[in-house]
Structure 1
Amino acid sequence: MIGTSTIAGQYMTDAIRAQAGAEVTWALSTSASRAQSFADAQGIARSSDNLAEVLADPKVDAVYISSINDRHYAQAMAAIAAGKHVLCEKPLATDIDQAIDMVRAADQAGVTFATNHHMRCAGSHRAIRDVIQSGQIGRVLSLRLFHAVELPAHLRGWRLDNPAAGGGVIADLTVHNADTARFLLGEDPHSIVAQSCESGFGQGVEDSAMSIWSMHSGAMVFSHESFTHPYAGAGIEVHGSKGSLFAKGVFAQDPGGSITLNTAEGEEEISFDHHSLYGEVIRDFTACVATGNAPSATGWDGVKSMIIADTVKKAAQTGTVQSPDFRGAP
């Protein structure tokens, strides 16, 4: 565990231990005392503030990186150089070129590199994609992603005041919406317009953003994310030529929410699997390490979500239409 984050403690340690034959062997932080406290709380045998010490342990097959965003690059590159498989939190880095370097280095080293875009592993998101692909709503005309929430008090640190560390709602939540749109529609945007603002929490970084994306298929995507909306509710709407999907409460760390399909035949509730999102991420990741198959969210998926989010930021800052430069990413 590289980084002693809230998500690492609340979700990922148990998710790893739920896999047959898997164990968490180290907790690493830049603070030795924090690493020790995390290890004690999670029942992890060893802790350190020395990454080289952790990576030198032959028992370590893979690392999960959930440190502050600006530390991901150096930590991932060191792990890859040591021959370790990598599951990295989004965004992969604070610089797109660094994220691309990470993914290419993993490819060259022959190790699995995955992005923790956990929403792809939600039963709700998979059910929405299945309905779209089945043709029940016809041709997709528009997708609405509303991910405006109130940032919990214990997370109101660097996300609200440190752009160099990857602060701001675009780096934190727009990447989620970008990956969700790509996962559901199977395509990338070709142009984006946006606006952003500081609406109460941000101190030198945006805490709310809205953007509209034009897709190559002709579909339009509306993306709304915020740190300042306590009662907005988060969800997804997909509107097609033959029907519409309304998904509520499906942008979450825990499984839940509901999905309703409206067509000429009336209203229908869509059932879906309520499995653990992070448990599914780790199950998928460990299977890919064993088989060499591509994970559910690859490093390139992480790169593309970063590029889309960066394009949203540029569109908001300039007030102009911006086109993502995917830089040859597959």
Structure 2
Amino acid sequence: MAKTVGKTLGWGLVGASTIAHEWMIDAIRAQPGNSVAALLSSNTERGAEYAAAHGIAQSYTTLDALLSDPAVDAFYISTTNELHAAQAIAAAAAGKHVLCEKPLAMNLADGRAIVAACRSAGVVLGTNHHLRNAATHQAMRDLVRSGAIGTPLFARVFHAVQLPAHLQGWRVQKADAGGGVVLDITVHDADTLRFLLDAEPVEAIAMTPAAGPLEDGVMAVLRFDNGVLAQLHDAFNVPHAGTGIEIHGSLGSLVGRDVMTQRPVGEVRLRSAEGERVVAVEPHNVYAHSLAAFNRAVQGQGAPAATGEDGLRSLAAALAVLEAARTGQRTPVAAV
């Protein structure tokens, strides 16, 4: 079972990652009683430099050392995707709570194993699908639930960006590490749509560009179990498209602009027979919001913003998109 945690939560960072550097360390430290206790990096020099730069007391080079540190109550896993399963399962076995970057795993078997291991060990498992924590998306969900657009019929996501050079690396070069735009971006689209629609994707069709060892763009359609058809455009190589999400219903439309982002920005408009208005939104840090929910879950108060099961279902949708693009066939989203 997990170590009993009162008002404190010591985190072990699994991976000296850019996302931890740019977002997660500050988000952890913004939570009352939370600290970054230790770091795991396979590179001794990089780990020591990263720990020193961020004021982290311990830097380890082996998973066993991090697992054995009594100051660590929870793991934040942000290594490359093929490592998530082994690291998360080991953390659960040691009684550590787990917040894992998306995609939860490379395949559904590994994802199911993570969920089962954490459930068996009695530890909290969250998937770091940050977009459902955005104030813009939460406002859109509330409006959909309230009937402001009537019955949802169609959705459109445009999430085509220019991947910064410092984030390319394995994402554009290594299929065996989980690279490619679908496991990096489309999985986020699927999770965001699941959150907004309170529905599950059941079928995918998709096409990707023919060139390159890994897909750097995709056009896809997901059919949801409530009948909504959602069009997705994701890319790593489009610098000026902007991002957004739209939900179109029988009585109105919600249009979000610049909302598929880590930053607390963007605008949502509601269009209906009464005209068009900007939806009032109070922006907040999406990662701090996620960490606050995770802390409450550790205290037995609710669930993480995105659970392990959420990560598994969103992964299943992304894998269906990949298979549909590979085969050119309609592809069912696997049951989880």
Residue from 285, 292, 314 that aligns with 1:305: 314
Residue from 232, 246, 251 that aligns with 1:242: 251
* 2:5 match: none
Tell me by how many angstroms 1:250 deviates: 0.5
Q: Provide the C-alpha distance between the structure 2 equivalents of 1:119 and 1:288, rounded to a whole number of angstroms.
A: 19
* 1:285 match: 294
* 1:205 match: 214
Q: Provide the C-alpha distance between the structure 2 equivalents of 1:105 and 1:37, rounded to a whole number of angstroms.
A: 33
Tell me by how many angstroms 1:292 deviates: 5.6
Tell me by how many angstroms 1:312 deviates: 0.4
The reply to whether residue 95 of structure 1 matches residue 107 of structure 2 is yes
Tell me by how many angstroms 1:46 deviates: 1.0
Tell me by how many angstroms 1:171 deviates: 0.7
* 1:272-324 CA distance string (max 9 Å, x none): 12110000111111111111632110001101111100000111111111111
Tell me by how many angstroms 1:237 deviates: 0.7
* 1:30 match: 42
Q: How many positions carry a matched residue from both structures?
A: 324
Residue from 180, 185, 189 that aligns with 2:197: 185
Q: Provide the C-alpha distance between the structure 1 equivalents of 2:116 and 2:302, rounded to a whole number of angstroms.
A: 16
Tell me by how many angstroms 1:216 deviates: 2.1
* 1:222 match: 231
| TM alignment of 1:79-90, pairs within 5 A | 79-90=91-102
| TM alignment of 1:1-330, pairs within 5 A | 1-197=13-209, 203-291=212-300, 293-326=302-335, 329=336
Contact 1:178–1:309 (Cα < 8 Å) also in 2:
yes
Identity of aligned residues (%): 46
Q: Provide the C-alpha distance between the structure 2 equivalents of 1:48 and 1:218, rounded to a whole number of angstroms.
A: 49
Q: Provide the C-alpha distance between the structure 2 equivalents of 1:5 and 1:204, rounded to a whole number of angstroms.
A: 24
Where structure 1 has 5 or more consecutive residues not aligned to the other structure, the ranges are none
* 1:168-220 CA distance string (max 9 Å, x none): 00010010001011101111122211101156xxx410000011122222211
Q: Provide the C-alpha distance between the structure 1 equivalents of 2:209 and 2:17, rounded to a whole number of angstroms.
A: 27
The amino acid of 1:307's aligned partner reads: A
Q: Provide the C-alpha distance between the structure 2 equivalents of 1:36 and 1:97, rounded to a whole number of angstroms.
A: 34
TM-score by length of 1: 0.96
Q: Provide the C-alpha distance between the structure 2 equivalents of 1:273 and 1:179, rounded to a whole number of angstroms.
A: 22
Where structure 2 has 5 or more consecutive residues not aligned to the other structure, the ranges are 1-12
* 2:6 match: none
Q: Provide the C-alpha distance between the structure 1 equivalents of 2:227 and 2:187, rounded to a whole number of angstroms.
A: 21
Contact 1:198–1:208 (Cα < 8 Å) also in 2:
no
Q: Provide the C-alpha distance between the structure 2 equivalents of 1:149 and 1:247, rounded to a whole number of angstroms.
A: 16
Q: Provide the C-alpha distance between the structure 2 equivalents of 1:186 and 1:74, rounded to a whole number of angstroms.
A: 31
The amino acid of 2:222's aligned partner reads: W
Q: Provide the C-alpha distance between the structure 1 equivalents of 2:303 and 2:290, rounded to a whole number of angstroms.
A: 12
Tell me by how many angstroms 1:80 deviates: 0.7
Contact 2:293–2:303 (Cα < 8 Å) also in 1:
no
Contact 1:198–1:207 (Cα < 8 Å) also in 2:
no
Q: Provide the C-alpha distance between the structure 1 equivalents of 2:141 and 2:301, rounded to a whole number of angstroms.
A: 25
Q: Provide the C-alpha distance between the structure 1 equivalents of 2:219 and 2:230, rounded to a whole number of angstroms.
A: 11
Q: Provide the C-alpha distance between the structure 1 equivalents of 2:18 and 2:88, rounded to a whole number of angstroms.
A: 19
The two structures, once aligned, show a CA RMSD in angstroms of 1.0
Contact 2:81–2:178 (Cα < 8 Å) also in 1:
yes
**Structure 2 SS opposite 1:23:** strand
